[in-house]
């Protein structure tokens, strides 16, 4: 499924049971954020959470990752933890089965909107990481990208030769991303750009390097849009989704889900959308969703 979106998003969630209802066992899909939710800032998944994933697998209740990471980046941490989940990546820009090269869903910038976004960021003195579609090398950088030096070092095997201006004219652009020094700076930049262009902004604390991760996608592209596409591809009812997250880029996901959970150290925006708050990833709070999904706990 390929879409070029620069239009207003539409709400597609269906009415559903909430926490405490007797219909909890009707959950058909668990959707989880990764950093700070499924795993902690070091990329470690708590043993309780691993146990919960095993119980869900035995019950044949599917789990979908929804993350701001690229598929390549998310899969590396999954592999280290010996799990394999399908996912919605880059804050909803693309959906892939674990290890797949062909997307079941993607939403890219039109060339015109990509060029406008890059031009505005350049005027604001920001050089982004440009995420492009394609196997292998999938990142384009300017001379002074706004990110962490260690992340830049890790990106080297995945960098393309194109300069940013050529990239937005010739490649399929999925998102623009950057790492700000703090949440306030990221939110200010998000407001500035989304206020001028038809783009959606997502802000989340960076659990690995510190500061705040910021991404831009076309309007209508978010984690929940990716979940709807996954449900359609698998024949699942999007009105029976349990979701868990921890940041502003999870807001649409939590609003759309049947049952919405947030970890205790989530951002205020994520906590405001949660039906229930659970313990953080470092304590295996993720396992608390078993009861809400109608399954026996540990």
The kind and range of the H/E element at 51 are helix 47-58
Inter-residue contact 232 to 239 (CB < 8 Å): no
Q: Is 166 left (phi over 0), alpha (psi -120 to 50) or beta?
A: alpha
Quick: pLDDT tens for 70-83: 999 999 999 999 99
The CATH code of domain 17-106+222-292 reads 3.40.50.1000
pLDDT above 70: residue 162: yes
Bridge partners of residue 130, in order along the sequence? 140, 176
Question: What CATH number matches the domain at 109-218, 3.40.50.300, 2.30.130.10, 3.30.420.40, 3.30.1240.10?
Answer: 3.30.1240.10
pLDDT above 60: residue 9: no
Between residues 134 and 273, the one the model is more confident about: 273
Place of tokens 């919405």: 260
pLDDT for 2: 36
pLDDT above 70: residue 111: yes
pLDDT above 80: residue 256: yes
Domain ranges for the chain: 17-106+222-292, 109-218
Largest CA distance in the chain: 56
Quick: pLDDT tens for 165-221: 999 999 999 999 999 988 899 999 999 999 999 999 988 888 888 889 899 999 999
pLDDT for 284: 97
pLDDT above 90: residue 23: no
pLDDT for 298: 63
Tokens of 235: 């024949």
Tokens of 151: 């992340």
């Amino acid at each position: 499924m390929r879409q070029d979106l620069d239009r207003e998003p539409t709400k597609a969630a269906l009415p559903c049971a909430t926490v405490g209802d007797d219909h909890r066992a009707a959950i058909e899909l668990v959707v989880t954020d990764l950093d700070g939710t499924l795993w902690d800032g070091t990329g470690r998944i708590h043993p309780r959470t691993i146990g919960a994933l095993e119980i869900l697998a035995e019950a044949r209740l599917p789990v979908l990752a929804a993350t701001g990471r690229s598929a390549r980046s998310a899969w590396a941490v999954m592999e280290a933890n010996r799990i394999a989940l399908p996912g919605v990546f880059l804050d909803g820009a693309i959906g892939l089965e674990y290890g797949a090269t062909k997307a079941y869903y993607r939403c890219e910038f039109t060339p015109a909107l990509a060029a406008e976004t890059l031009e505005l960021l350049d005027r604001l003195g920001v050089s982004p990481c440009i995420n492009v579609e394609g196997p292998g090398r999938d990142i384009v950088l300017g001379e002074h990208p706004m990110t962490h030096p260690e992340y830049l070092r890790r990106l080297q095997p995945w960098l393309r030769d194109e300069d940013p201006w050529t990239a937005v004219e010739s490649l399929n652009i999925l998102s623009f991303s950057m790492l700000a020094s703090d949440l306030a700076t990221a939110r200010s930049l998000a407001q500035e750009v989304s206020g001028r262009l038809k783009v959606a902004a997502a802000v989340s604390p960076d659990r690995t390097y510190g500061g705040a991760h910021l991404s831009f996608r076309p309007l209508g592209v978010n984690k929940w849009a990716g979940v709807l596409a996954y449900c359609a591809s698998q024949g699942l009812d999007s009105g029976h989704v349990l979701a868990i997250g921890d940041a502003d880029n999870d807001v649409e996901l939590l609003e759309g889900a049947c049952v919405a959970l947030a970890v205790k150290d989530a951002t205020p925006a994520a906590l405001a959308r949660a039906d229930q708050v659970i313990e953080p990833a470092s304590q295996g709070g993720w396992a608390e969703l078993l009861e809400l999904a109608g399954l026996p706990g540990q």
